[in-house]
Amino acid sequence: MRLIAGTHLFALISLTAALDNGLLRTPPMGWMAWERFRCDIDCHDDPQNCISEDLFRDMADRLVEDGWKELGYEYVMIDDCWMSKLRDEQGRLQPEPSRFPGGIAKLARYIHDRGLKLGIYADMGTHTCMGLPGTTLDKIEIDAQTFASWGVDYLKFDGCYSNPLEQMLGYPLMSLALNATGRPIAYSCSWPVYVGGLPPVVNYTLMGNICNLWRNYFDIQDSWDSLQGIVDWFFNNQDDLQPAAGPGQWNDPDMLIIGNFGLSLEQSRSQMALWAIMASPLIMSNDLRNLDNGARAILQNKVAIAINQDPLGIQGRRLLQEKSRIEVYWRPLANSASALVFLSRRSDMPYLYHTSLAKLNYNPGNYGVYDVFTGSTVTGLNTTTLFTISINPSGVVMWYILPEHSKKTHTHHHLHKTASHFTFL
């Protein structure tokens, strides 16, 4: 016990420098296996979809060839179920040889050769969530070194089969161990979700010093109900969570499920819009080999991505919850710009919502508006002008807004006047 106490003291003393890795100045973007492919290890009967090196090579190819990489989607992330049930003779984690015959280092080279980055998964308990070897406190250093030697660029560190004391020790120690390898490795911590996600139990100042991003809440499932539950939790607790985010340190409400089975196109736009407002990681978990054009258009929307990747890195907030079940979200952006999202929680029919920028606390003046999902624009929208927008059930209208005095220096947004989507009263 004396050793653990000493280790803990060392970790706390070193925390201020623990994550000076310069990574993830904007939220990470990429693809992850878990939500779509889970722990499918049946490569005999399901070779196309099992967790194997072939799957990750396929997704890397798709990221490059289908235009994802150039938009910023750069991480290919392995989740649980990649490992062998036993460590090797030197005590190192090793991939399951029948599914990763080339090893992780070779897979990393394949991914790096395409200009992408590789993420991997470990768990700081006795076992991973699916029962494979965990990274207990005595294994943290060797596992960090192993990941670095393989060329890993990102670690998701889960917390199944661990207790709060082990988490308090282990998450900072892994941060130190990753930095000590000398390889830049982004660090995703699952710590907050295992202890309830909120202060005072979670110290988000400390979290920002040791992790690049962290999972605050339960796993997303492939459904609108699951997505709404996550959104409600994050915005009901926005006063605690919103200040924790910034360049290099992000709240993570989990993966994008757009392109799977559970969301309509309207709901898919809602997830993209809200994840952009929240400055969330844009980590897709879908089958990029079989993605329909509607989902692709949403996930590749350049303005939604630009809002998400805004260099200020300020997480947005919910402004209003109306009795009509319309909600309004806002995020400040660089160059005096901002983003608004009008979300309908209704399930009946399109709803006509009446408001003005003044009611949403905008400063007096004229503004240009670009509708992110329709591409329609309007200029000269005065703060006091009442307008009406139509919001589809479980859908959004998302606006990028720029003060008129700033527009001359940002002509690339091409805010030309059209009345196609706006009604002024």
Cβ proximity of 125 and 159 under 8 Å: yes
Give yes or no: residues 195 and 294 share one domain.
yes
Which pLDDT value is given to residue 405? 79
Question: Is residue 305 helix, strand or coil?
Answer: helix
> Which domain-ending residue is among 284, 308, 332?
308
Cα–Cα dist 278/7, whole Å: 35
Rg (CA), the chain: 22
Cα–Cα dist 72/96, whole Å: 30
Question: Is residue 167 helix, strand or coil?
Answer: helix
Which pLDDT value is given to residue 19? 75
CATH number at residue 361: 2.60.40.1180
Which pLDDT value is given to residue 214? 98
Which pLDDT value is given to residue 13? 41
Question: Is residue 93 helix, strand or coil?
Answer: coil
Give yes or no: residues 97 and 243 share one domain.
yes
Walk along the chain (425 residues) in steps of 10 and give the mean pLDDT of each run: 42 53 98 98 98 98 98 98 98 98 98 99 98 98 98 98 98 98 98 98 97 98 98 98 98 98 98 99 98 98 98 98 98 98 98 98 98 96 97 98 70 38 36
Give yes or no: residues 154 and 275 share one domain.
yes
pTM for this prediction: 0.93
Give yes or no: residues 41 and 164 share one domain.
yes
Give yes or no: residues 150 and 235 share one domain.
yes
Number of domains in the chain: 2
| Residues annotated catalytic, as ranges | 158, 219
The helix (H) or strand (E) run that includes residue 314 is none
Alpha helices in 22-139 (DSSP H): 34-37, 53-65, 103-113
Cβ proximity of 414 and 369 under 8 Å: no
